[in-house]
Chain A
């Protein structure tokens, strides 16, 4: 089984982000970046499938600027066999990312696309589902457990009502949820080994895909500061304030 793992370069989830001067984007100068944590979980799962003998090859792919090479290097250091950068400087909406990844899928013909359920920068939660639609492949989203069976994957997925177990026939799309696994630490030996692993760079033109966006980023602003709370004297007063001031009951 060959697995394609898309990984996105995102601002480090622990970094403080703020809008830039004109509010057109977040301020990106001197912002540390990381692999999208959900994609890291997807990659970890792919590596475990390979270590268990279920997978034979792992290809990491990233769509973004040249700097995304750093995240691909991390993926290679963790255990991906090779990497593809679809290099673009355009601002991409989810459909454009999905179109590019679909084109990579057609080039690579993997048995499985395993990716994070969403990226922590935009929190769209769309690319996996769109890919399934564009490629007409079965999908299992929010996976918290994956088991390889012959020709199919058994996936436990987290829903609001509990765990649902589905089985998808390969080729398929699976998106990873937080509790699927805990990614390993990158080993220095892995980083050194990654030096000799292939990293190919493609453009949207190479893939014959238009990246024109149907969604536009209009404005980035910080949420309003929280107002100081108020101490009430009695339950009666609380009810009164909830009714008259907050108007929630």
Chain B
């Protein structure tokens, strides 16, 4: 791993710099050409077949997957020595965004390239990698991931699927039933989790053709109807011993080791869906006439369009910033090195907090945007005559899979604390201590800056103090029982999500300005987002404090909170109208370049 600018979770403790932050506007013309190639394929081949895909027309999804594979759209993340393109994480993230416009197809390709392929790359033996990865990279084989069971979803380690060694020692015999396997209907290779002798939770590479492997019927889902979701049924399924993935009893490494990237990519895909939905909503709003004019001329519709654009901007800033961070961790790993798996594991372990933040942020922004897209369409949004209804149905799953947003909220803080305890977050204790001592000192209010970037900078700095103070005191007051008080944990996680998004938007605006690009609208979006996020952080922190401490300490903390949470007031209505005008004119979310 090369030197990291910020270690995982460190964003809470330290200042980040624009020059170390990757933003969308850093992409090269080659990156944009890659994005364009993906976009043309999706708009030319996939979107026109939307209805057929959603009705699961026989063979269509696989045919499109293979076509995407031939064009190199499935192997972007994989190293060249295993048939991939070895692109930087930023570029593969951009690709994931562009591949997302048909949600079912996005889920199929995402599951294939992510959780269906990466476990073998990260944890496989060189033989396993050589055998499977190049054929997965080109789409010759389709991959899938079978972790959940009927009785175990968020708690995968309670799996009941068993593996026993055959008497001749050549096979593991797997027995059990896995639920919710994306690509179940057409995958060739499944990463299956089972407990050896009912105890050692382990991962296996299971081919569809192995004796004893079959799949159930298609689940009738609320949305993403064109993706295949089936049970995988294992009845004395014969898995050669050489297909044990990673180490017996260490299946949790595999299960959780690829979920970070999966969660992150989900946010990137959500971003693509958001941008498209905003364009659809804006065009409809311009077209739809009421009271003798286009409804896009009304304040409440403008407010919606602006708010969609603002959240998309914050999400986009957070997605590409995190892509840059992940790239730092993964960059330069020699796929052929003897310790390649160790390096991958090491890199993947670095950013679970950020990946969980992005998963929640991405799926919740997408849900908001989808919901407002329906609302702007009014009654027509509730019919299948317009794309809004499908967008709404398709978005909903994102808050559920790859770890529910509830699980991800818990995980965020849990991982943050684990990192601190393992010494992977140097400065955490000092930072918490500094806040403690600041509590006892009088603080003179400094004059409010007038420059928007400086205003948001103060909000960012104070938000970090609020979170450190509240989280630090929660740990101190509640101790190990904090895990049981999930409501408090979730409030703290909400604070972190808002902070990360707000800071990412702020860093991006500063970098845009440094690059000499026009950041007028970007700056307005940053201002409004930060204003509301700061409010939300204060509200969440207050609720957390009120639920874990009483008496004098409560008073001290609330007083401190009030001090840190002093807002710089701005006219968000005016700013939103300005943002809405941009969206209405360009019929899309903001971007610095022409695309």
> Given A191-B34, A192-B85, A30 and B29 touching (CB < 8 A)?
no
**Interface contact A191-B29, CB-CB below 8 Å:** no
B72 close to chain A: CB less than 8 A: yes
Q: 1/0 per residue B347-379: CB within 8 Å of A? A: 000000000000000000000000000000000
- A116 and B36 alpha carbons, distance in the complex (Å): 22
**Interface contact B72-A31, CB-CB below 8 Å:** no
Q: 1/0 per residue A74-92: CB within 8 Å of B? A: 1001000000000000000
B76 close to chain A: CB less than 8 A: yes
Complex contacts, B401 vs chain A, CB 8 Å? none
Those of A59-85 within 8 Å (CB) of chain B: 69-70, 73-74, 77
Closest to A30 in B: B594
Those of B54-71 within 8 Å (CB) of chain A: 70-71
**Interface contact B33-A74, CB-CB below 8 Å:** yes
Closest to A29 in B: B594
Interface of chain B: mostly helix, strand, loop or mixed = helix
Q: Which of B33, B44, B45, B70 is within 8 Å of A191, CB to CB? A: B33
- A30 and B72 alpha carbons, distance in the complex (Å): 29
Chain B contact residue count (CB 8 A cutoff) = 22
- A69 and B29 alpha carbons, distance in the complex (Å): 9
Q: Which of A29, A73, A185 is within 8 Å of B40, CB to CB? A: A185
> Given A32-B595, A189-B85, A191-B37, A73 and B76 touching (CB < 8 A)?
no
**Interface contact B85-A70, CB-CB below 8 Å:** no
- A32 and B586 alpha carbons, distance in the complex (Å): 12
**Interface contact B594-A31, CB-CB below 8 Å:** yes
**Interface contact A30-B37, CB-CB below 8 Å:** no
Complex contacts, A29 vs chain B, CB 8 Å? 594
A195 close to chain B: CB less than 8 A: yes
Closest to A192 in B: B85
- Distance in angstroms from A76 CB to nearest chain B CB is 10
**Interface contact A185-B44, CB-CB below 8 Å:** yes
Those of B30-47 within 8 Å (CB) of chain A: 30, 33-34, 36-38, 40-41, 44-45
> Given A30-B593, A30-B594, A186 and B30 touching (CB < 8 A)?
no
B136 close to chain A: CB less than 8 A: no
- A69 and B85 alpha carbons, distance in the complex (Å): 22
Those of A197-214 within 8 Å (CB) of chain B: none
Q: 1/0 per residue B69-97: CB within 8 Å of A? A: 01111001000000001010000000100
**Interface contact B29-A70, CB-CB below 8 Å:** yes
Closest to A186 in B: B37
**Interface contact B33-A73, CB-CB below 8 Å:** yes
Complex contacts, B593 vs chain A, CB 8 Å? 30
Complex contacts, A188 vs chain B, CB 8 Å? 34, 37-38, 71-73, 76, 85, 87, 95
**Interface contact A73-B72, CB-CB below 8 Å:** no
- A73 and B29 alpha carbons, distance in the complex (Å): 9
- Distance in angstroms from A101 CB to nearest chain B CB is 24
- A73 and B34 alpha carbons, distance in the complex (Å): 11
Complex contacts, A32 vs chain B, CB 8 Å? 594-595
- Distance in angstroms from B209 CB to nearest chain A CB is 29
- A186 and B182 alpha carbons, distance in the complex (Å): 28
Complex contacts, B44 vs chain A, CB 8 Å? 185
> Given A70-B29, A73-B33, A74-B33, A189 and B594 touching (CB < 8 A)?
no
- A185 and B45 alpha carbons, distance in the complex (Å): 10
- A188 and B44 alpha carbons, distance in the complex (Å): 16
A133 close to chain B: CB less than 8 A: no
- A163 and B45 alpha carbons, distance in the complex (Å): 30
**Residues in chain A within 8 A of chain B (CB atoms):** 15, 29-33, 69-70, 73-74, 77, 185-192, 195
A/B interface sample: 10 pairs, CB < 8 A: A30-B593, A32-B595, A185-B45, A186-B37, A187-B71, A188-B34, A188-B72, A188-B87, A189-B71, A192-B87
Additional A-B contact list (10), CB under 8 Å, known A186-B33, A188-B72, A188-B76: A73-B29, A74-B33, A77-B33, A186-B36, A186-B37, A188-B38, A189-B71, A189-B72, A190-B72, A191-B30
